[in-house]
Chain A
Amino acid sequence: MKNRQTKQVSGEHLAYLRRRRHHGILVWTLRVGLLALLLGLWELVTATGWVDPFIMSSPSRIAQTIASLYNDGSLFYHIGVTLWETLAGFAIAVILGYGIALALWWSDLLRETLEPYIVVLNALPKIALGPLIIVWFGTGSRAILFMTVLVGIIVAIMHMLSAFIATDKNKQLLLRSMGASKLQMLTKLVIPSSLPSFISMLKVNVGMAWIGSIMGEYIVSKAGLGYLIVYGGQVFKLDLVMSATAILCLLAAGMYFLVVLLEKILVKNTE
């Protein structure tokens, strides 16, 4: 497939490659530079007293807050709580959602019956169920987990179902002409051809899982990053709010990156 080493490369092509590489370096420099600029400005306006750091916090105060959280040992405790809720909720929503979507693909009658229910559940703002969730699941991690699953599962079902239904009609015809059973249709065609949609569903659901877990922690919680944000807001410790938010940014980005990595491994040949 690739035999780059044996191929003769023209000077023009080398120049083209160099331009591309330089462009890549430029973009990354600008990205990092923009971040540094924003952080620098933030630090500057708060350090000079131009903006009250008590309201705005500042990069150095965020760093101090994170350091002190680390020193009293609560940093990784809060991260761990939220991360566990998010990952577990994400996994349950994805697995259950995928399974339900499969069942709905399998049975047209089931799909047609449940369609209006799914539409309503999708449109419903899940936070409206907050009080019910507290009553049913108490104020512990289970309530937050339930909220996370609830937010993610409908998206997973709808995303996968539309992918299953969109399976190429001609390829289905081809398989039927070979005498394929419904199970074979599923395993040989529907599941493999929906792999790119599965990855895009994972990407969407990374965001959904964080929404679910943080929203859950807003409603009920004794620990976690969402708890730190709410608590920080209530006692007016904006340093704590900003610190927890910054950590959240890093974690969410990291989780998204893992999905992209998975995509690189799984999705190779889909044209």
Chain B
Amino acid sequence: MKKEILRFSDVTLIYHTPREETVAAQHLTFSVSEGEFVAIIGPSGCGKTTLLSLAAGLLRPSAGQVERVGNCGYMLQRDELFPWRTIEKNIYLPLEIMKEDDASHRQRARDLAVKYGLGDFLASYPSQLSGGMRQRAALIRTLAPDPDLLLLDEPFSALDYQTRLNVTEDVSEIIRSEGKTAVLITHDISEAVSLADRILVLSKRPAHVAYAHELDFGEIKNPLKRREESGFSRWFEILWRELNV
């Protein structure tokens, strides 16, 4: 049995506004083990992003428990690179925030950037990079402090289709080869099927895990290869039906 990195136990979350309160999640239980890539899909407005905020510790559950081992890195829809910083300085940002901004950590982050093809762009500003490259830089920034868990909040949805497929390849390869644990939130079923080891389907609000699937692609981890598999469309259909219950 592998070590659990993240565990939600019977989590309830209530949102308060002056007008009303909303139960965003109820009896939400699941866990993520080390090295796993878990995709979470759900109908829109079911509180997927809330779930990531809980996992990141930005929100506290109203009831139940969220336990996490180690630290986590958050990746958003847009790259959110700081335009006034060079790519190199952007990548050092989490180190500065975590007060780990020393030579050895910097070296590690820079090696990572060079390894994944950002070496020539370290001195460039984000505006000089293409959308795909920017999202790659955002991933390297997320990986720079060596997080135990990656939280990906629809990181491809702002990209055009062509770039999106490439960046998905990219991110998948980087995460797999770094042996990272990842939770991906998405509304795109085919993206979830092409990337994940396991897929959780959330219900409508209040969100709980309605279905959980272990994908059976075996050693095929590459997103484009998976899209060619016969199992791909089968999974797509199953998940599509479950989302539209």
Contact = CB atoms under 8 A, between A and B. Distances in A.
**Bound together:** yes
Contacts of B126: 269, 271
B116 interface: no
Given A171-B82, A184-B97, A195-B84, A271 B74 contact: no
B127 A269 contact: yes
A1 B121 CA distance: 11
Contacts, number: 58
A40 interface: no
Nearest to B77: A170
Contacts of B237: none
B144 to A, nearest CB: 10
Contacts of A189: 82
Contacts of B96: 184, 188
A271 to B, nearest CB: 4
A192 interface: yes
A192 B82 contact: yes
A182 to B, nearest CB: 12
Contacts of A180: 97
Given A184-B97, A188-B96, A269-B125, A177 B84 contact: no
B127 A177 contact: no
B83 A179 contact: no
A65 interface: no
B80 A270 contact: no
Contacts of A188: 82, 93, 96-97
Contacts of B78: 170
A173 B75 CA distance: 10
Contact of A179 (B82, B97, B127): B97
A127 B85 CA distance: 44
A23 interface: no
A175 interface: yes
Contact of B84 (A1, A173, A192): A192
Contact of B83 (A173, A176, A184, A271): A271
Given A170-B78, A270-B83, A178 B58 contact: no
Nearest to A177: B74
24 contacts: A1-B124, A168-B80, A170-B78, A174-B80, A175-B97, A177-B56, A177-B58, A177-B74, A177-B151, A178-B73, A178-B93, A178-B98, A178-B145, A179-B71, A179-B98, A184-B96, A184-B97, A188-B82, A188-B96, A192-B84, A269-B85, A269-B125, A269-B126, A271-B127
